[in-house]
């Protein structure tokens, strides 16, 4: 029996849709899926019959603001010490879950078994509820992080997010007899202890999540239950929810990151899986880098295309060590993602390269911006166009009017803390670009 266990991660679980798409393309199927916290959204979509491709399409059409639902005004007037939460789950129930294609009746008819980790606060129990036991309000309650969203009160019971008890339902998969478990993990896990209330709040979630996961491993060992563990996780922690909400990272970029990270694991996976210990979700801190988003349109061969690259350029290491994800949209064919990617910045050119899946096969993609400065005052205007090659077709794509300004406006420091470090990262990146222009 094969189980898919989807851990939480807030709004950034858009990343999981890219993972699911890659797993489906690999031909992997699952007998059981479990969702905890934000992972409830992905599990509910799967049980509703939403494919990985459709998941990505639905996430692209969902803005971060769709998650926002404020309390009645009088609640805020009570003052911060009496405030029940920052908001409520009404937007998740009324907007987010329907737009993501979650259909409770279809979930109940699904041939795949499913469970959702939801805490009942009065007893402090973490319950693994099946589709027959839930509705949209209960699913939303399972994502209502204390302090951020109000819990769901039904009679004498109070339902809320399970994150402080369990953030991945490995124990439920073991209880059901899974001999192969695929854990999709998007909670950060690095040795670094950050400063400030937001980072430390996230650290508490990380400690709870990892503590419960390790306890599940110990329980399985104590019961003599062995299983093969596969873990798909990002190399570096994903951007936190505020970055998504403020537009510093897009759902498209998160989807592309999930697709890339799943492909990276699939390409190198062992039949024996990974160790069932604290290293299985271990990540590294990103180097001080700058993230940029580059959007280009044009004709390549017979197709009108739109390509979006999200690039993290390290400032203290070779640019080739940077990360690249990308999405290629072709009318009539939908959107495909880079399965891998590399970026180089040298010899007067910025080059993105990777592979995409078209027509059931992997083809090469390469995009080159020449950092030339033709005579005249339009230095940055010369940076507007690029050459895009997809398989054997080539064409010129352009950022369009104001495209370079949009690219520069997208600059977001990564791995830099505090105003001074962030400002210095931007300065160093602009100097790096200038140093390779010709």
Greatest extent of the chain over all pairs of C-alpha atoms, in Å:
75
**Cα gap 322→287, rounded to integer Å:** 9
Question: What are 292-330's pLDDT values in tens digits?
Answer: 899 999 999 888 999 999 998 888 877 666 789 999 998
What pTM was estimated for this model as a whole? 0.93
The band of 40, judged by pLDDT with boundaries at 50, 70 and 90, is very high
The percent of the chain in helix, strand and coil, each rounded to the nearest 5, is: 35, 30, 35
Neighbouring-strand partners of residue 394? 389
pLDDT above 70: residue 31: yes
The band of 381, judged by pLDDT with boundaries at 50, 70 and 90, is low
Among candidate residues 73, 66, 118, 119, the one with its CA nearest the CA of residue 94:
66
- Using a pLDDT cut of 70, give the percent of the chain over it: 95
**Residue partners of 389: CB distance under 8 A and separation at least 6:** 300, 364, 365, 366, 367
DSSP classification of residue 309: E
110 is annotated as an active-site residue:
no
Question: Which listed residue (34, 88, 161, 167) is catalytic?
Answer: 167
Topology (CATH level 3) of domain 2-268: Cytosolic phospholipase A2 catalytic domain (3.40.1090)
Question: What are 416-428's pLDDT values in tens digits?
Answer: 877 888 899 899 8
Question: What are 268-284's pLDDT values in tens digits?
Answer: 999 999 999 999 999 99
277 is annotated as an active-site residue:
no
Q: For residues 77 and 296, which has the higher predicted lDDT (pLDDT)?
A: 296
- How high is the pLDDT of residue 385? 87
pLDDT above 70: residue 364: yes
Contact in structure between 305 and 287 (CB atoms under 8 Å)? no
**Cα gap 424→422, rounded to integer Å:** 5
- How high is the pLDDT of residue 183? 98
pLDDT above 50: residue 197: yes
Question: What are 394-414's pLDDT values in tens digits?
Answer: 999 998 878 878 888 888 998
Region of 321 (left: φ > 0; alpha: ψ -120 to 50; beta: rest) is alpha
Among candidate residues 249, 198, 327, the one with its CA nearest the CA of residue 12:
249
Question: Which listed residue (3, 34, 37, 289) is catalytic?
Answer: 37
Measured between its terminal Cα atoms, the distance across the chain in Å is 58
C-alpha distance from residue 212 to each of 160, 238, 364, 405 (Å): 17, 21, 42, 46
Question: What are 228-264's pLDDT values in tens digits?
Answer: 999 999 999 998 888 888 888 889 999 999 999 999 9
């Amino acid at each position: 029996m094969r189980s898919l266990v989807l851990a939480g991660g807030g709004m950034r679980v858009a990343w999981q849709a890219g993972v699911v798409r890659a797993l489906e393309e690999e031909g992997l199927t699952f007998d059981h899926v479990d969702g905890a916290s934000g992972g409830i959204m992905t599990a509910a979509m799967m049980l509703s019959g939403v494919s990985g491709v459709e998941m990505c399409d639905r996430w692209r059409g969902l803005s971060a603001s769709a998650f926002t639902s404020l309390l009645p005004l009088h609640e805020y007037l009570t003052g911060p010490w009496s405030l029940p939460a920052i908001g409520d789950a009404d937007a998740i129930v009324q907007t987010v879950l329907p737009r993501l294609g979650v259909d409770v009746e279809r979930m109940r008819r699904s041939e795949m078994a499913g469970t959702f980790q939801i805490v009942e606060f009065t007893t402090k129990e973490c319950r693994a509820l099946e589709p027959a036991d839930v509705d949209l309000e209960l699913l939303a309650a399972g994502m209502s992080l204390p302090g951020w969203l109000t819990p769901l009160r039904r009679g004498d019971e109070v339902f809320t997010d399970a994150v402080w008890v369990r953030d991945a339902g490995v124990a439920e998969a073991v209880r059901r007899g899974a001999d192969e478990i695929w854990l999709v993990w998007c909670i950060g896990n690095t040795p670094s202890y950050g400063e400030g209330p937001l980072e430390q709040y996230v650290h508490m979630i990380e400690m709870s999540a990892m503590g419960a996961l390790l306890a599940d491993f110990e329980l399985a060992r104590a019961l003599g239950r062995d299983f093969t563990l596969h873990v798909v996780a990002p190399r570096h922690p994903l951007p936190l929810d505020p970055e998504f909400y403020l537009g510093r990272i897009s759902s498209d970029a998160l989807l592309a990151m999930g697709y890339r990270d799943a492909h990276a694991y699939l390409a190198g996976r062992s039949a024996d899986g990974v160790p069932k210990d604290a290293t299985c979700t271990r990540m590294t801190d990103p180097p001080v880098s700058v993230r940029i988003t580059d959007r280009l349109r044009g004709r390549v061969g017979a197709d009108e295309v739109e390509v979006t690259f999200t690039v993290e350029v390290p400032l203290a290491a070779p640019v080739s060590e940077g990360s690249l994800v990308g999405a290629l949209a072709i009318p009539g064919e939908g959107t495909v993602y880079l399965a891998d990617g590399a970026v180089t910045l040298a010899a007067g050119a910025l080059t993105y390269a990777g592979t995409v899946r078209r027509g059931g096969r992997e083809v090469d993609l390469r995009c080159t911006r020449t950092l030339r400065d033709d005579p005249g005052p339009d230095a940055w205007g010369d940076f507007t166009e690029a050459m895009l090659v997809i398989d054997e077709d080539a064409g010129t794509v352009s950022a369009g009017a104001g495209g370079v300004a949009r690219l520069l406006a997208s600059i977001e420091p990564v791995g830099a803390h505090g105003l001074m470090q962030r400002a210095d990262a931007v300065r160093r990146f602009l100097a790096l670009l200038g140093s390779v222009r010709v």
